[in-house]
Amino acid sequence: MSIQKRSVGIVGVGHVGSHCAYSLAVQGIVDELVLCDTNEALMAAQAKDLFDAACCYPHRVAIRTGPISALAGCDIVVICVAREIPEVALRDAELANSVREVKSLIPRLMSAGFDGIIINITNPCDAITQIVWRDSGLDSRKVIGTGTGLDSARFRSILGREVDLNPSAINGFVLGEHGNAQFPAWSHVTVGGKALAQLEKSSPRFSQIDKEKITQEVKGSGYQVWFTKRGIDFSVTSVLAQVVRCIYNDEKVAMPLSVMLDGQYGQSGVYVSTPAIIGREGVEEILELELPDDEMKHFGASCESVRRNVRRANEMVAEGLGGENE
Ligand SMILES: NC(=O)c1ccc[n+]([C@@H]2O[C@H](COP(=O)([O-])OP(=O)(O)OC[C@H]3O[C@@H](n4cnc5c(N)ncnc54)[C@H](O)[C@@H]3O)[C@@H](O)[C@H]2O)c1
């Protein structure tokens, strides 16, 4: 008999990383957490705080800390590093610092022998996921960005509030970039298998919805939260925990995540969000939705925005910015 320990490494244990660790421990998704942060005092304090709650978790969770090489044996590594998030809180404004950090840590993780799945949260999420994939040399099915997983959760929560339904009853996705070019795929919203376009005609609770207002609220949610509490923790880490659970339990459910497109929507070689089947092997299948013209236009704009960030990142690396910490 061989019983495998479920071990997840978390790189960057500030707001997001520490909440990732807590979500995974308190939901009983992992047996071991390995924390890594360049701020060693913070790393030790986060580990101690998580350890002190050990008797409240559904089962025993070992908490370790260490340098990036200590994560080599983990099944999954979650990246949530950041360096001086700019006051403007625009995801693209983090590009230079995020590139510098991942260019420093990914080669060290890989040379230590890591061969699992990487989930990236660091912003700008899609471009950074693409750089992580490229620098890791891993199969693109093993490198995933949380992408619009968070925006889709916001979308379902806000729409649920507007029509007075449990968000879990609503099937709907935000597609594209985890950034300003994102858009809710209104054409694919369903409740109980019934399309929104039909519900708008037949159900009073759907007849009054203001799609533009909801779209803008979804887009603005992150900024609203960040400007007040200087961090976004519960929502994105709930999504992260869902992805990790899907992998460990081989759940094979469709989640909107940032994945490497290979011809879907006429796009290739770019990380952007669309529903994907997630299981033990990571991304098992990428689903391409049939979108009307206006949504296809938004999708194309999202891909262009991510490509622009990747180009900018390449230029920064060529100018020496990305190599500073190596
Ligand atoms: N994708 C999403 O949906 C989403 C949502 C919220 C936040 N984010 C992003 O997550 C990232 C983290 O945000 P936060 O609020 O936790 O930031 P934070 O500043 O609270 O924490 C970042 C941590 O990373 C550490 N760090 C930096 N470089 C490192 C390295 N090379 N190795 C190890 N540790 C390193 C820092 O010491 C710090 O403790 C940001 O990029 C933020 O924009 C993404």
The CATH number of the domain holding residue 294 is 3.90.110.10
Q: Which of 8-12, 69-73, 230-234 has the lowest mean pLDDT?
A: 230-234
Cα of 11 from ligand 1 centre, angstroms: 8
Is 196 contained in some domain?
yes
Co-location of 154 and 134 in the same domain: no
CATH code of the domain in which 91 resides: 3.40.50.720
Residues 171 and 56 in one domain: no
If asked whether residues 197 and 272 sit together in one domain, one would say yes
Domain boundary among 88, 113, 145: 145
Residues 205 and 252 reside in one and the same domain: yes
Q: How far is CA 214 from CA 8, 210, 289, 290, in A?
A: 35, 6, 21, 22
29-44 pLDDT, tens digit per residue, is 999 999 999 999 999 9
pLDDT above 90: residue 62: yes
Range of the domain at 155: 149-312
Q: Is 17 helix (H, G, I), strand (E, B) or coil?
A: helix
Residues 102 and 231 in one domain: no
Q: Is the pLDDT of residue 274 over 90?
A: yes
The answer on 262 and 193 residing in a single domain is: yes
CB neighbourhood size of 223 (10 A): 14
Does residue 186 form part of some domain?
Answer: yes
Q: Which residue's CA is the nearest one to ligand 1's atom 28?
A: 81
pLDDT computed for residue 322 by the predictor: 45
Do 184 and 58 lie in a common domain?
no
Q: What is the pLDDT of residue 88?
A: 66
pLDDT at 324: 41
Domain count, the chain: 2
Q: Are residue 164 and residue 279 in the same domain, yes or no?
A: yes
Give me the pLDDT at residue 224, please.
Answer: 87
How much is the pTM?
A: 0.97
Tell me, yes or no, whether 326 lies in a domain.
no
Q: Please report, as a single letter, which amino acid is at residue 38.
A: T
- On the question of pLDDT at 323 being above 50, the answer is no
Task: List active site positions.
Answer: 178
- Yes or no: say if 286 and 261 are a contact pair by the CB < 8 Å rule: yes
Q: What is the DSSP string of 268-293?
A: EEEEEEEEEEEETTEEEEE------H
Task: State in Å: Cα 288 to ligand 1 middle.
Answer: 30
Q: What is the pLDDT of residue 51?
A: 97
Q: Which of 92, 122, 145 is the last residue of a domain?
A: 145
pLDDT digits (tens, 9 = 90+) for 127-165: 999 999 999 999 999 999 999 999 999 999 999 999 999
Query: Average pLDDT over the chain, rounded to whole?
Result: 95
By most ligand atoms within 8 Å of CB, the mutation choice from 19, 81, 90, 126 for ligand 1 is 81
Same domain, 158 and 307: yes
Q: Are residues 88 and 176 in the same domain?
A: no
Give residue 87's pLDDT. Answer: 67
Residue with tokens 């262009």: 304
Same domain, 54 and 128: yes
User: Per-residue pLDDT averaged across 255-268, rounded?
Assistant: 98
